Chain A
Amino acid sequence: MSDAQFVPSPATHAHHPAQAHHFDSLEQQQEASTLGMWVFLVNEIMFFGGLFMAYLVYRTWYPDAFAAGSSHLNIPLGATNTAVLIISSLTMALAVHAAQTSWRRGQIVFIILTIALGTTFLVIKAFEYADKFTHHLVPGPHFQWPDEKLRAPVEIFYSLYFALTGLHALHMVIGIGIMLWLLWMAWRGRFDAEYYSPVEVSGLYWHFVDIVWIFLFPLLYLIGAHVRHV
């Protein structure tokens, strides 16, 4: 068998241009990339999971400080950002649908909308960060908190706030980068009903980043709401 000469099998002729040489069929390739993204997202859950674990421990230890720290976060801006991300997940899903139905114009429009919404989120986030800097709520030597008893644990709250939202924002930036690449590919008409897995798996990633925020918003912004009202 090993001495046999290489004879291309008939199946190798009718390849879709996007099919890589080491896959037997485009279907196998799409299944592989979808599974690959799901495995990656499991890894991402564990990545954020370490931070959520730290959040869980410290919030159990310092519930008052966490509520007090949370009450200085801007709920209207956070809620707006939540809405922005949920709508961006809708436009992302519509972009996937446009790819599956070979609708090039729809792909371009919905990917641009997704990029615009993602950017809106980051701009609002930047304003929130700037506000924290001016109010000395950034952990480190300049951190200030009026109640000396709560100062140290509130600093932990803000450390977790910046670590969690910062990592989330980094994922958003990477997501927007992926969207720009998708836009370029869609512009060149690469996606159709037969080959759309890049749009689909990028969509999985985008939705995941969205879902992380859905957890972050209540855990960071809303746990102080009752403190604000008393």
Chain B
Amino acid sequence: MHTIATHTRNYINAEYGVMSWLLTRDHKRIALLYLGSVTTFFALGGLFAVAIRLELLTPAGDLVQSETYNKLFTMHGVIMVFFFLIPAIPAVLGNFLVPIMIGAKDLAFPKLNLLSWYIFMIGASFALWAVVNGGVDTGWTFYTPYSSVVSNTQVIAAAVGIFITGFSSILTGLNFIVTIHRMRAPGMTWFRMPLFIWSHYATSLIMVLGTPVIAITVLLVFAERALKLCIFDASCGGDPVLFQHLFWFYSHPAVYIMILPAMGVISELVAAGARKNVFGYSFVAFASLAIAVLGFLVWGHHMFVSSQSVYAGMIFSILSFLVAIPSAVKVFNWTATLYKGSVSWQTPMLYAYGFIGLFAIGGLTGLFLATLGLDVHVHDTYFIVAHFHYVMVGGTIMAYLGGLHYWWPKISGRLYPEGWAKFGALIVFVGFNLTFFPQFIVGYLGMPRRYHAYPEEFQVLNVMSSAGASILGVGYLIPFVYFIWSMRYGPKAGPNPWGAKGLEWTIDSPPITENFVDTPVVTEGAYAYTHERMDVV
């Protein structure tokens, strides 16, 4: 280790052996540990989705029984939400990039960062144990009293798993907040920070302020089930709706834990792809914070039909509309950034364009749902299923894939095959829309969610959806295969294959363990692009 390191040493070949990974404190290696974990959970959650779409091919409930179907959509939701969407961008891309983008050698608390991953894996083990030992059938929302006194499935193990995993999220958020406050390189002022950092800062605030509330809530469900405490049980005067309040106080902001980092990725991609400073940089930065703050004030829009007072409903409806403002600021500013930009059609940008369009649809249909009268008609139908899949799959996963492509040369030091990648992005886009757009229609026509059988008139739209899901599955497999292929066979990337700005592109690919040979001194804003497109791959 005391030999003079040259640029051929990097974080991947700095040490060898399994233990060098399992005991690493390097944020980049921990990011790769998370990458492996969340990819596995994505595949598992995807398998449940396959089973759901197969069942819904035909109107009759002929593939699985309704009890099994309840477990399928519950485990699809639990795994995708808590073990993929929430950690995906912050714990993988955020872990890798937050220190590098602000010119730091590591996160503020490297051991805590490794501990976060272990906590995540322990929580995930409980959830997996629940899956293997009969599953859970409460829906990912764990509504009481069904979850606390009625259901006879593995609620306790799943609740404990979610409780534990929450602390991984809290510690990651804590680490990001302290790192962004205290570890910035000289000259890296708040308004020179990349928007990726702003959005991760806002996300971290939600993780620290929201996650403890879901932790105590599932802990109380656990206590009610296992220790026979009486908290939400109406038979001893408890209030099941209090559970919904506490649950959505976290779980609505959790939606922004999923989408804000995605917005940060898109800001980076759009700036690099258009070779322009992000239009209205400070508005986009503050929009992230505004979404984080407003996100805590809208939970009641999940409870319009849960005995909530009509006045509370009206206030929550108005507050929910307000979220559209910062969201629209972002979408318009990305579009304005592209305007007269030197626009790229490489794979990361294809995902970014996909994101902007799909997020706009997902966001606007959110306004439908925030409208009290309309929500009474479409709540608990496939309309809402389509809405949140447009935001989470069309938004978060598109951005996650776009970000993975954009930073893959930095992470792995290799280029992925551009032709295959463009093809994959196209397949994902087509498959996604074919899967979820028909669900808007079938939901508006009245098909309720969470049933394994449905009237025959809905079959055409459901067959389209299932066909789209199979195309989408292929679309996800393609990047999986060529990313692995490129680790060995991809051409070397060099430090800056995109000709992009940002500290991460000033260092080697892959970076050395300490990221920077010398602490960088920042003298310009995050997106100081000149208007010419360099000769890029």
Contacts and interface: CB of A to CB of B under 8 A. Distances in A.
A in complex with B: yes
Interface of A: 1-7, 9, 20-24, 28, 31-32, 35-36, 39-40, 42-44, 46-51, 53-54, 57-58, 61-62, 139-141, 152-153, 155-156, 159-160, 162-163
Most buried by B among A2, A7, A61, A152: A2
A188 to B, nearest CB: 19
Size bracket, chain B contacts? 35 or more
B216 A47 contact: yes
Contact of B209 (A43, A54, A58, A156): A43
Nearest to A6: B5
Contacts of A32: 108-109, 178-179, 182-183
A28 B133 CA distance: 48
B517 interface: yes
A206 to B, nearest CB: 19
B519 interface: yes
- Chain A binding surface, main DSSP class: helix
A7 B242 CA distance: 60
Contacts, number: 132
Given A22-B105, A42-B209, A46-B209, A2 B508 contact: yes
B218 to A, nearest CB: 10
Contacts of B239: 57-58, 61
A42 B512 CA distance: 35
B170 interface: yes
B4 to A, nearest CB: 6
A39 B173 CA distance: 9
Contact of A152 (B105, B109, B236, B245): B236
Given A22-B104, A51-B220, A61-B237, 8 more contacts: A2-B508, A35-B177, A53-B245, A58-B238, A155-B236, A155-B237, A156-B231, A156-B238
B217 interface: yes
Nearest to B220: A163
B223 interface: yes
Given A35-B178, A140-B227, A22 B236 contact: no
A163 B230 contact: no
Nearest to B3: A6
Contacts of B212: 43-44, 46-47, 49-50
B229 A159 contact: yes
B509 to A, nearest CB: 9
Contacts of B236: 152-153, 155-156
B215 A47 contact: yes
Nearest to B496: A2
A62 B227 CA distance: 23
A56 to B, nearest CB: 10
A3 B181 CA distance: 30
Contacts of B5: 5-6
A77 B4 CA distance: 65
A43 B170 contact: yes
B377 interface: no
A39 B110 contact: no
A36 B220 CA distance: 27
Given A22-B514, A46-B210, A139-B228, A40 B174 contact: yes
